[in-house]
Structure 1
Amino acid sequence: MPEVMFAGPDGRLEGHYHHSDNPNAPLALVLHPHPLHGGTMNNRITYTMYRRFQEMGFSVMRYNSRGVGRSQGRYDGGIGEISDAAAALDWMQMVNPNSTELWIGGYSFGAFVGMQLLMRRPEIRGWISVAPPANDYDFGFLAPCPCSGLMIAGGKDTMAPESGIRKLVEKLNTQKNVDVDYRILEQADHIFSQQANQIADALEDHVVTRQTSLFAAPAEAAG
């Protein structure tokens, strides 16, 4: 898992990047929780998602947004952090010019940033949002949401309550061609202290199912 430094909009950004041995492997970018509340690329849930994407054969990156770890710059209220995510994606695409499948994953604040990036980058094929802070941030920008994805909530989460996430899921599922895979881990709070493996398993199950659907559709149309 080599360390990388790449150019961001407010200085150099620090990341960990795994390059798959598979030619033209799919790409995944994983975003960490809120930097003002201790969120870094080494967060346990962020790392767990990164590792599972790696084990699935993806080329994958996790990185520190501006002002975190060795990344330059200062926290920018979410706006600059979206630009940081775009810079990380640009770097990955530069290193993998022939890859045609891209996923975005985020936990808590990282889920908000990831969904913002989704709206700006039409090449993203799928997304994973763990405990998106639906009560604290306005997700109304997902109109329409470009593609389907996986949303995970903790049944005992008081920071990103399941009820708020459920309302977001229901709203997204009214949109044409969007089918959110919604999973509730009933015993989990916002930290998911005992549920990291469950999150990883849900991620893999969703991604494999979506990949099968995405790649089967053209064949069925041709037949």
Structure 2
Amino acid sequence: MHHPFEVPPLEFPQGEKHVNLNGSAGIIEAITCSVDAPIGVGIVCHPHPLQEGTMNNKVVHIVSRAFNNKGLATIRFNYRGVGKSQGSFGDSIGEVEDLLAVIEWANLVMPNTKIWLAGFSFGAYIAALAATKYPCAQLFSVAPAVHHQPYDKLPALECPWIVIQGQQDEVVVPEDVYTWFEKQKAKMQFPMSLLKLDASHFFHGKLVPLRTLVEENFVAHL
């Protein structure tokens, strides 16, 4: 049963704001952060919802901040069933639908804007799958869980792609990511880069170097 239809903001809110957007499973809880004269919108996807992943995750927050620093308005959001977002876990498919609904709202309030996508861990696949359905300016995948999701079935993406992997990752085997990266890169027409950081899965004590990596590898114009 759906709750009453929400009327989301009709323009991108100023400052940092909690907003309710609409998705196929009901309300999507999100946090928007504006910048002066944005060159586009950056949307960042959080880790696994069944493992306490939320939009308040530190890695998600720091990637959003990096995007703000590069001139993007940003959106972080909770997948269905997380926080105040309605619905229940959608086994990746539902979460991609949530992301596409967020992209749709971004396009509504900022028509013809460029979209940058990023995701951490489980969220890296959500962002990558959305990037196969929606043309984005650039994709950032942080610690992609290549052994848990069907990365091998991803087609070549039509945008530059940055993969950031912690070398001390205790959740995702770094070598699995390196092997997958080489296979994926061979399919790509656009540049794809692998950046390694001496860090654990959650980048404890390494959030500033992570932010710097995102900022230094951000592509504003092709």
Common fold: TM-score over 0.5: yes
Distance 2:112 2:197 in 1: 37
Partner AA of 2:81 in structure 1: G
What is the number of equivalent residue pairs in this alignment?
207
The residue number in structure 2 matching 1:48 is 62
What's the CA shift for 1:73? 0.6
Query: Structure 1 or 2: larger helix share?
Result: 1
Task: Please tell me whether residue 84 in structure 1 is matched to residue 98 in structure 2.
Answer: yes
Percentage of pairs with the same residue: 29
Task: Please tell me whether residue 185 in structure 1 is matched to residue 200 in structure 2.
Answer: no
Distance 2:178 2:108 in 1: 37
The residue number in structure 2 matching 1:37 is 51
Partner AA of 1:192 in structure 2: F
The residue number in structure 2 matching 1:19 is 34
Partner AA of 2:204 in structure 1: S
The residue number in structure 2 matching 1:217 is none
Write out per-residue CA displacement over residues 118-168 of structure 1, whole angstroms, 9 at most, x where no aligned residue. Answer: 1111x2111000000011212123222222211011111131111111112
**2:89 maps to which of 75, 78, 91:** 75
The residue number in structure 2 matching 1:113 is 126
Q: How does 1:150-165 map to 2 (within 5 A)?
A: 150-165=162-177
SS in structure 1 at match of 2:209: helix
Task: Please tell me whether residue 137 in structure 1 is matched to residue 146 in structure 2.
Answer: no
Distance 1:25 1:110 in 2: 23
* Cα RMSD, aligned residues only: 1.3
Partner AA of 2:196 in structure 1: I
SS in structure 1 at match of 2:151: coil
Distance 1:169 1:32 in 2: 21
The residue number in structure 2 matching 1:104 is 117
TM-score, normalization by structure 1:
0.89
Task: Check conservation: 1:64, 1:71, Cα contact below 8 A.
Answer: yes
Unpaired runs of at least 5, structure 1: 215-223
What's the CA shift for 1:102? 1.4
The residue number in structure 2 matching 1:147 is 159
**1:2 maps to which of 8, 14, 17:** 17
The residue number in structure 1 matching 2:217 is 206
What's the CA shift for 1:176? 4.3
Q: How does 1:161-180 map to 2 (within 5 A)?
A: 161-180=173-192
Distance 2:183 2:160 in 1: 13
SS in structure 1 at match of 2:183: helix
Distance 1:176 1:50 in 2: 26
Task: Check conservation: 1:145, 1:172, Cα contact below 8 A.
Answer: no
